[in-house]
């Protein structure tokens, strides 16, 4: 049987699909299992032992300089034609709008009714296996850092050797998930010690970049204040580099988002900063990782106190 899983959205969403892929492989060891993703999140699938083949298309908004939308569309059409020729028996659609791709590849059967609340995303995706007669036991998130990339990233953290390394992720896509630079600075100042170091991660680029806004200015502000507090910059240009560098850390502090789910998949102790939303808390908490989930009494992550985050880090270290 040829099975195609379609997961074409964000990094964390794809990470949360990996327990389902593992369960599917256990239930159908002889099946061909392919995954259709996009170039933005494809690194999550590198080295995944449960998948036979990964197909990644580019979104038009991610096209390179001088490339036309038509060229991207033609490229995607060729990829879909390859899948159509494969002969897809079942398409499992884990992303909104993915059923269109399932039809384009000629899937004989389409499974697309992913449930909503009160399930975690891992559980909701796992329930897509029920129509195949599979009641999965959902294990941990799966992520395989590439050894050669880990080796390349290790020198960036060399000066923190011998310390517990906390990954501090400064960026968040949505404004309501952003914790201010001043609070990150105060947190690092309070936690600074000879036994503890801080690897600073952020989305590279200028805040006003039209396609890929970044946090270079915020990172510079934090680094200027904390350079003598055991904080080092870890610049990552590719998702493979972020995964590899996080794998060298012991803990993670950051907002709900792709990097947080990567940290959970790498089994980092996680202080997770969430908006005050019951739906987000129950759907997106760090699956399988030891964590403290922090929310403000208001809504925005910016209102979480430094006291609360400091206490979470110290509690996680004492586990």
What angle, rounded to 10 degrees, do the helices at 239-246 and 258-265 form? 50
Q: Domains of the chain: which residue ranges?
A: 2-132, 147-317
Whole-angstrom CA distances from 313 to 1, 72, 187, 227 are 47, 44, 10, 20
Given a contact cutoff of 8 angstroms between Cβ atoms, the answer to whether 253 and 187 are in contact is yes
In this predicted structure, what is the pLDDT of residue 117?
A: 81
Which has the closest alpha carbon to 214: 272, 273, 173, 254?
173
In this predicted structure, what is the pLDDT of residue 81?
A: 94
Collect all residues with Cβ–Cβ distance below 8 Å to 35 and sequence separation of at least 6. Answer: 4, 5, 6, 7, 21, 45, 51, 53, 54, 55
Question: 147-317 sits in which CATH class?
Answer: alpha beta
What are 113-171's pLDDT values in tens digits? Answer: 999 889 999 999 999 999 999 999 999 999 999 999 999 999 999 999 999 999 999 99
Distance CA 153, CA 286 (A): 24
Strands (E), 44-105: 53-57, 90-93
Task: Look at the domain 2-132 and name its fold.
Answer: Rossmann fold (3.40.50)
**Residue 284, Cβ neighbours under 10 Å: how many?**
22
| Mean pLDDT, residues 72-82 | 89
Topology alike, domains 2-132 and 147-317: yes
Looking at the whole model, is its pTM more than 0.85?
A: yes
Which has the closest alpha carbon to 285: 42, 12, 95, 14?
12
The helix (H) or strand (E) run that includes residue 273 is: strand 269-273
What are 284-299's pLDDT values in tens digits? Answer: 999 999 999 999 999 9
């Amino acid at each position: 049987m040829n099975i195609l899983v379609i997961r074409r959205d964000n990094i964390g969403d794809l990470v949360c699909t990996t327990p389902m892929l593992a369960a599917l492989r256990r239930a159908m060891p002889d099946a061909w299992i392919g995954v259709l993703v996009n170039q933005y999140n494809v690194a999550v699938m590198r080295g995944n032992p449960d998948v036979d083949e990964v197909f990644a298309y580019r979104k038009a908004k991610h096209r390179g300089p001088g490339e036309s939308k038509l060229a991207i569309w033609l490229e995607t059409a060729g990829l879909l034609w390859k899948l159509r020729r494969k002969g897809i028996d079942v398409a499992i659609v884990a992303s909104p709008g993915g059923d269109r791709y399932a039809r384009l590849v000629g899937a004989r059967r389409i499974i697309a009714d992913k449930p909503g609340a009160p399930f975690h995303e891992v559980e909701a995706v796992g329930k897509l296996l029920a129509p195949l007669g599979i009641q999965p036991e959902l294990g941990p998130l799966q992520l395989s850092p590439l050894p050669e990339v880990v080796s390349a990233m290790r020198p960036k953290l060399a000066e923190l050797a011998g310390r517990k390394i906390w990954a501090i992720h400064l960026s968040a896509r949505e404004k309501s998930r952003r914790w201010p630079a001043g609070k990150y600075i105060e947190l690092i100042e309070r936690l600074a010690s000879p036994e503890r170091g801080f690897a600073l991660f952020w989305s590279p680029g200028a805040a006003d970049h039209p396609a890929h806004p970044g946090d270079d200015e915020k990172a510079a502000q934090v680094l200027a204040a904390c350079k003598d507090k055991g904080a080092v910059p870890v610049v990552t240009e590719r998702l493979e580099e972020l995964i590899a560098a996080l794998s060298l850390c012991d803990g993670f502090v950051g907002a709900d988002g792709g990097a947080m789910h990567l940290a959970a998949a790498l089994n980092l102790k996680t202080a997770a900063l969430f908006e005050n939303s019951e739906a987000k808390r129950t759907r997106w908490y760090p699956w399988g990782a030891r964590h403290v989930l922090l929310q403000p009494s208001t809504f925005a992550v910016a209102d979480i106190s430094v006291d609360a985050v400091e206490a979470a880090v110290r509690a996680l270290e004492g586990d």
